[in-house]
Each structure stands twice: as C-alpha cells, then as structure tokens.
A and B are shown apart, each in its own frame.
Chain A
Amino acid sequence: SAVISQKPSRDICQRGTSLTIQCQVDSQVTMMFWYRQQPGQSLTLIATANQGSEATYESGFVIDKFPISRPNLTFSTLTVSNMSPEDSSIYLCSVSPGQGKPQHFGDGTRLSIL
C-alpha cells in the first residue's frame, strides 16, 4: 500500500498569512486529492490534483484561496492563503494508487489560526 507523508504535521499561524502543506508519496500515482476536515466534522473534498494539469476544485473552493501544485507523480502541495480562524482545520492528502486499489490517506496537517 502507498505510504503518504505530510508536512508539517501541525502548525499555528497568524491570520492573514499563508501556509504551504506538502504531500509526499512513496510510489508514483496519477491522482492526488486534498481534503479539509473542520473540527468535529467529516471530510470535505477540496480538489483533485493531476500531474501536468491544473487542479480541479470542488464547489465552494477556489484556486486563489487554495492553490495546488503537482510537479511530479509523487508530490503535491496545498497552500492555504490569507488565513483566517475559519481555516482552522485538518488538511489531508490522499492518493489513488490505481485501478482496483484502495485510496490511501495521509495523517493530515492540523492547522490552527490565531
């Protein structure tokens, strides 16, 4: 199964600043996904990141707020821009290893905005 590493594991940031979260996979994967989990809530899909093309965002999420990079088949970044306290959440990366294989998740980045 794919091993996913996210950095940082947690951070406390000031409002108005931006933070870039990294997601590294130990094998090449076509699709990577970014989720947000607000306190006490379920996971919400932010966007799908395909290598070599722009990310596809879900309703309610925009590129200016959550820019995503996917420079190669094992790495992606999610930036949370101009942060406010409402952005305090866990941000999770997941990968789809391929046809018929279960989707795997990282342990997330816990972000608190003061």
Chain B
Amino acid sequence: DAKTTQPTSMDCAEGRAANLPCNHSTISGNEYVYWYRQIHSQGPQYIIHGLKNNETNEMASLIITEDRKSSTLILPHATLRDTAVYYCIVRVEFDNFNKFYFGSGTKLNVKP
C-alpha cells in the first residue's frame, strides 16, 4: 500500500475553511484516496474518497492533484465539533477483503 504523509497538527478558526493536505507520491493507478476522522472517544468515521476527480459530499470536498501525488481535504466551514484526528489512506476501492492501514494522521484543532 502507498504510504501517506500528513502534518502532525493544524489549527483552524471556527467558521473558516479547514484545508488538510496529504502527500501520497507512490500511489498506484488503481488506488483511491480515502479520508476518515476520529473524534475523541469514538471510532473512525468515513468522510469521503476519490480516485482522480474532485469529490464533494455533505461533509467535505476532496481535491486530488492531476498527478495524484497529493490531495487536500476541505471542510468548508469548520465548527468546534470538527476537532478530530484526520486520516488520509490510499487503497484499492472498498471490497470485501480490503484492509486499511492507518498512518499517524493530522490533529485538527478548531478554535473559537
């Protein structure tokens, strides 16, 4: 599996956009980029995933560079409840035998 590199921590002001970067320079052509987050005392929560096109859902947007070597997760209007550890994972598409290997993630601190 391709390895990912994320900053250890980031701060964001409440109401502003939070942009979380992820480097995955060894990603393969059939590997997707997944984002999960883990709020304190909870299990990881799926946010979004994509292959090469930008994706948007009710939680966030995912911007993947044209060469697919990096991506950015965007929370458009961060709230205090978005304070969490955000994990970027690259893997082939979800299937019955899909294993996820977590990196160290980015601790996002949303401040009032």
Contacts and interface: CB of A to CB of B under 8 A. Distances in A.
Interface residues of A, number: 24
Interface string B84-110: 010100000111111111111100000
- Is chain B's binding surface mostly helix, strand, loop or mixed? loop
A92 interface: yes
- Is chain A's binding surface mostly helix, strand, loop or mixed? strand
A84 interface: no
Given A42-B102, A42-B103, A104 B96 contact: no
A85 interface: no
Given A104-B46, A107-B43, A108-B43, A42 B87 contact: yes
B51 to A, nearest CB: 12
A102 B102 contact: no
A96 B95 contact: yes
Contacts of A104: 46
B42 A100 contact: no
Interface residues of B, number: 23
B49 interface: yes
Interface string A66-106: 00000000000000000000000000101010111111111
A43 interface: yes
B41 interface: yes
A97 B44 CA distance: 15
B84 to A, nearest CB: 13
B104 to A, nearest CB: 5
Given A96-B94, A100-B94, A102-B49, A45 B99 contact: yes
